[in-house]
Chain A
Amino acid sequence: DAGVIQSPRHEVTEMGQEVTLRCKPISGHDYLFWYRQTMMRGLELLIYFNNNVPIDDSGMPEDRFSAKMPNASFSTLKIQPSEPRDSAVYFCASSLDGFNSPLHFGNGTRLTVT
């Protein structure tokens, strides 16, 4: 079991550029979550999927953010255009049964937008 795999680990980009974060969940996990961690707000849920279908995206901050899950083994979080306030650590997590089973987190992508 390789765990949840996120790429890249670090991303530095300039304001206005498009950023794509990638996630491979644990095989067999039906739920996938994208979280953002900042000093001010802590860990916030952005969006989650069940069986590749987005269920709740109410945490997505703006239309600049979008997430897709084209298949059970891959998800992307895209920010277009990026802004300095998007700088944060973005975590992907997966679980067998939503929040009723523990979330398994990836190691995160640290995004810096200059």
Chain B
Amino acid sequence: DQQVKQNSPSLSVQEGRISILNCDYTNSMFDYFLWYKKYPAEGPTFLISISSIKDKNEDGRFTVFLNKSAKHLSLHIVPSQPGDSAVYFCAASAGAGSYQLTFGKGTKLSVIP
């Protein structure tokens, strides 16, 4: 069973507009969430994270929102740029003392110039 789900395999967005990538989780023990970005033929690179004590974390053009009651998080990219075209992975862990990081299967974002 998938504990971290990214239900949209792909997303296309016009340059300059907002990209919203979604992620749902089922394990209520998860309390630390991360987003990774992956370009072809490269490993995933860390983008942004959020702890369950927060509902929002912002870093430049990237904002992650966490809705614990809905077990849902989203990544907003504003404004989207062609260089943002990549596969985005959502990941979750049960935090301190737990070293199992569970990844979603990824969403491929294409930003159209």
**A107 in the interface, Cβ–Cβ < 8 Å?**
yes
Residues from 64 to 96 in A contacting B, C-beta threshold 8 Å: 91, 93
Contact of A108 among B43, B93, B95, B98 (CB under 8 A): B43
Cross-chain contact A91 with B43 (CB below 8 angstroms): yes
Complex Cα distance, B41 from A91, in Å, reads 11
Cross-chain contact A45 with B46 (CB below 8 angstroms): no
Query: Which residue of chain B lies nearest to A35 when distances are taken between CB atoms in the complex?
Result: B103
Complex Cα distance, B50 from A67, in Å, reads 31
Cross-chain contact B105 with A99 (CB below 8 angstroms): no
Q: Which of B36, B99, B105 has the most CB of A within 10 A?
A: B99
Chain B residues near A31: list those with CB within 8 A.
99
Contact of A100 among B96, B100, B105, B106 (CB under 8 A): B96
User: Majority SS of interface residues in chain B?
Assistant: loop
Residues from 95 to 114 in A contacting B, C-beta threshold 8 Å: 98-100, 102-108
Cross-chain contact A104 with B46 (CB below 8 angstroms): yes
A-facing mask of B64-90, CB < 8 A → 1, else 0? 000000000000000000000000010
- Give chain A nearest CB distance to B85 CB in angstroms: 18
- Give chain B nearest CB distance to A89 CB in angstroms: 9
- Give chain A nearest CB distance to B102 CB in angstroms: 8
Chain A residues near B89: list those with CB within 8 A.
43
Cross-chain contact A42 with B46 (CB below 8 angstroms): no
Complex Cα distance, B101 from A31, in Å, reads 13
Chain A residues near B43: list those with CB within 8 A.
4, 91, 93, 105-108
**A56 in the interface, Cβ–Cβ < 8 Å?**
yes
Contact of B106 among A42, A45, A104, A105 (CB under 8 A): A42
Q: Which of A99, A100, A103, A106 has the most CB of B within 10 A?
A: A99
Complex Cα distance, B46 from A87, in Å, reads 25
Cross-chain contact A103 with B99 (CB below 8 angstroms): no
Contact of A103 among B41, B46, B105, B106 (CB under 8 A): B46
Please list 12 pairs of residues, one from A and one from B, whose beta carbons are closer than 8 Å in the complex, sorted by A's number.
A31-B99, A42-B105, A45-B101, A55-B99, A56-B100, A91-B43, A99-B93, A99-B95, A100-B32, A103-B101, A106-B43, A107-B43
